[in-house]
């Protein structure tokens, strides 16, 4: 197996008395879609924010694409940061900017491009995520929830990243919109060779597109594997999550 593109070792996270991670290890492999699941408050979003350098862990090592995320020079971090894109919960678009300007924002911030080239590249990204041409100049507030997510995705791939981090991409979407977004993630992974780190509660997403799933519980990654492998484990939360009515429905087991 190739070296992991994301490598987390002995991660500790404490907020005062709240111990969130305690000895968490995780590997993410190039080209895979890894789903990250766990009960509410197990630290999925915190882990994502730590991997992308937005939050400092209490202890531990994080490497992305072979480079340390912590204790690195600001210049090295800026270079590394260009190699991933993030879609936060809800899309997190700038409300005062149009879709096009939102997609251009990372290009403005991190690349020195002539304006017409930047516009052309933004238009390509917007088309790639399946948004209509006329969405380009609209503010996020004029779009549906699904379209806003797509715009957030377009922004996440603005710099042609190698890794995309998605925090609950289907949350708040109706089942048809959620399935369409799942397909988009899988299509773009295939077309662009992305590695995808995907925090989700959505059982359908896990079934539809995740190659492997990492389970956060008890402050660590309790297990990683395919859903079939995880279903064999006897952990109570996993049994309830995957074996409960919604978990069974997602695999068509009624």
Ligand X SMILES: Nc1ncnc2c1ncn2[C@@H]1O[C@H](COP(=O)(O)OP(=O)(O)OP(=O)(O)O)[C@@H](O)[C@H]1O
CB of 20 to ligand X, least distance (A): 5
User: Which among 40-48, 64-72, 99-107, 184-192 is the span making contact with ligand X, rule CB under 6 A?
Assistant: 40-48
Q: Are 107 and 121 a contacting pair, CB within 8 Å?
A: yes
CB of 58 to ligand X, least distance (A): 12
244 near ligand X, judged by CB under 6 A = no
Parallel, antiparallel or unpaired: strands 163-167 and 59-64? unpaired
String marking each residue 9-38 x if it binds ligand X according to CB under 6 A: ------x--x-x-----------------x
Distances (CA, A) of 139 to 145, 148, 153: 13, 10, 15
42 near ligand X, judged by CB under 6 A = yes
How far apart are alpha carbons 205 and 221 in whole angstroms? Answer: 19
Q: What is the footprint of ligand X within residues 179-238 (CB under 6 A)?
A: none
* Nearest residue (CB) to ligand X, 45 versus 187: 45
* Nearest residue (CB) to ligand X, 43 versus 130: 43
Which residue carries 């590249």 as its tokens?
121
Q: b or e along 11-38 (b: 16 or more beta carbons within 10 Å of the residue's beta carbon)?
A: bebeeeeeebbbebebbbebebbbbbbb
Interface residues with ligand X (CB under 6 A) are 15, 18, 20, 38, 40-46
């Amino acid at each position: 197996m190739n070296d992991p593109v994301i490598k987390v070792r002995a991660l500790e996270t404490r907020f005062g008395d709240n111990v969130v991670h305690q000895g968490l290890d995780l590997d993410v492999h190039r080209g895979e879609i890894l789903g990250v699941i766990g009960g509410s408050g197990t630290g999925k979003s915190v882990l994502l924010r730590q991997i992308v350098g937005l939050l400092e862990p209490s202890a531990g090592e994080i490497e992305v694409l072979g480079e340390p995320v912590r204790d690195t020079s600001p210049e090295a971090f800026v270079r590394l940061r260009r190699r991933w894109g993030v879609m936060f919960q809800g899309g997190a678009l700038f409300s005062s900017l149009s879709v096009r300007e939102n997609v251009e924002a990372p290009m403005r911030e991190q690349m020195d491009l002539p304006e017409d080239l930047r516009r052309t590249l933004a238009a390509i990204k917007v088309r790639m995520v399946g948004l209509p041409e006329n969405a380009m100049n609209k503010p996020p507030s004029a779009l549906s929830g699904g379209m806003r997510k797509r715009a957030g995705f377009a922004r996440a791939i603005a710099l042609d990243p190698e890794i995309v981090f998605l925090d609950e991409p289907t949350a708040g979407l109706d089942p048809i919109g959620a399935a369409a977004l799942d397909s988009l993630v899988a299509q773009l992974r295939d077309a662009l060779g992305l590695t995808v780190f995907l925090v989700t509660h959505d059982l359908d997403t896990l079934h539809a597109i995740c190659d492997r799933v990492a389970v956060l519980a008890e402050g660590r990654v309790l297990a990683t594997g395919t859903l079939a492998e995880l279903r064999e484990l006897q952990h109570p939360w996993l049994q309830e999550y995957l074996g409960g009515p919604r978990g069974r429905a997602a695999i068509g087991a009624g």
